Amino acid sequence: MSKVKSPGLAKWLISGPPLLYLLIFFAIPTLIMIFSAFRFPGEYGGLMPLVDIHPDTGVRTLLINSQNWRDFLTLENFSRFFEDGVYVELFVKSFWYAGLTTLFCIILAYPLAWLIARSPKKYRDLLILLVILPFWSNFLIRVYAWMIILGPQGYFAMTVNSVLAWFGIGPQQFLFTHFAVIVVLVYVHLPFMVLPLYANLEKHDMALLAAAQDLGASAWQRFWRITWPLSLPGVWAGAALVFIPALGMFAVPDLVGGTDGIMVGNLIKQQFLDSRDWPFGSTLSIMLTGGVLLLAVLATLISRGRKK
């Protein structure tokens, strides 16, 4: 096999396909979404056409020009978002749900990842396999399984309500509540927190903990002064993998959250599929992306501040 002699050609051969992929499936759709946010909805939904096609000749005529561009581009979608408090409230609730999901995933995943990282090497692959085992089944089937578990006839609801009855508390509903949304979001995203944490914790030098123990550090001091700071890259990576998809999730709130549990993802889906108001759906998508980017910038600034 002949070798590629030019370093520049080799670089483009390696980086070209992923760059092309990002250009086609991320950059171009993002630009289309941004442009759509400034347009008017069409008469029958979708977007107001910018090109007129003659029904007989098929000749295309560009309708927008430098004189009438105000008739085709608008900021009304953004003003609608900020003027109606319902949308801002839904965004805040979605960020709250995603934050709680991330927090619970960290609390549950950290000891599990630690246990796997400190288990004998011959068992680690099996334990990791068990963590990713739920991915082998269909996502909707897993969510429907939780609908059965949290339903009024499910073992979970019946057991909890039996315990509450001992204290004189009436039966509680768990399905179609905020509780159900958080529980299922945590269940769905937990493996995304375990895997980066495990990859990080596995690389820790145990000699550091042994040295701290020899110097008289307690178990909590060893964890808080050594293990936790060293594991922060894994925590941040897992938090990003959990928070971002949880924020835009619409299937879980749709199935187990009911009307009170809807998130911004449900609103975006509703605008595109039900209301067919694509410009406002694009505006919501931009605001969601901007919110995530803002949080990422804040997290980066906080991280750099701590390093200094």
pLDDT at residue 253 in the model = 92
pLDDT at position 299 is 80
Tell me which of 1-10, 45-54, 197-206, 279-288 is least confident: 1-10
DSSP H helices, 26-84, are 28-37, 76-83
If you average pLDDT over each of 32-46, 94-108, 259-273, 291-305, which comes out highest? 94-108
**Residue 68, strand partner residues:** none
CA distance 168 to 284: 45
Would you say residue 196 has pLDDT above 90? yes
Residue 307 has a pLDDT of: 64
On the CB side of 56, how many CA atoms lie within 13 Å of its CA?
0
Query: Quick one: which H or E segment has residue 60?
Result: strand 60-62
Q: CA–CA separation, 256 vs 144, rounded Å? A: 9
**Which is more confident, 130 or 135?**
130
Encoding tokens for residue 106? 């960290």
Task: Quick: pLDDT tens for 31-55.
Answer: 999 999 999 998 888 899 888 888 8
Which pLDDT value is given to residue 300? 81
Confidence bin at 155 (pLDDT 50/70/90): confident
User: Phi/psi at 39 (nearest 5 deg)?
Assistant: -110, 170
Annotated domain spans of the chain = 79-306
The domain made up of 79-306 has a fold known as MetI-like fold (1.10.3720)
Lowest mean pLDDT among 3-7, 34-38, 145-149, 254-258: 3-7
* pTM metric for this prediction: 0.85
pLDDT of residue 306: 65
The whole-angstrom separation of Cα 221 and Cα 205 is 16
Residue 117's H or E segment, with its range, is: helix 85-118
Please say whether the beta carbons of 35 and 46 come within 8 A: no
Q: How confident is the model at residue 101 (pLDDT cuts 50, 70, 90)?
A: very high
Asked if 174 and 204 touch (Cβ cutoff 8 Å), the reply is no
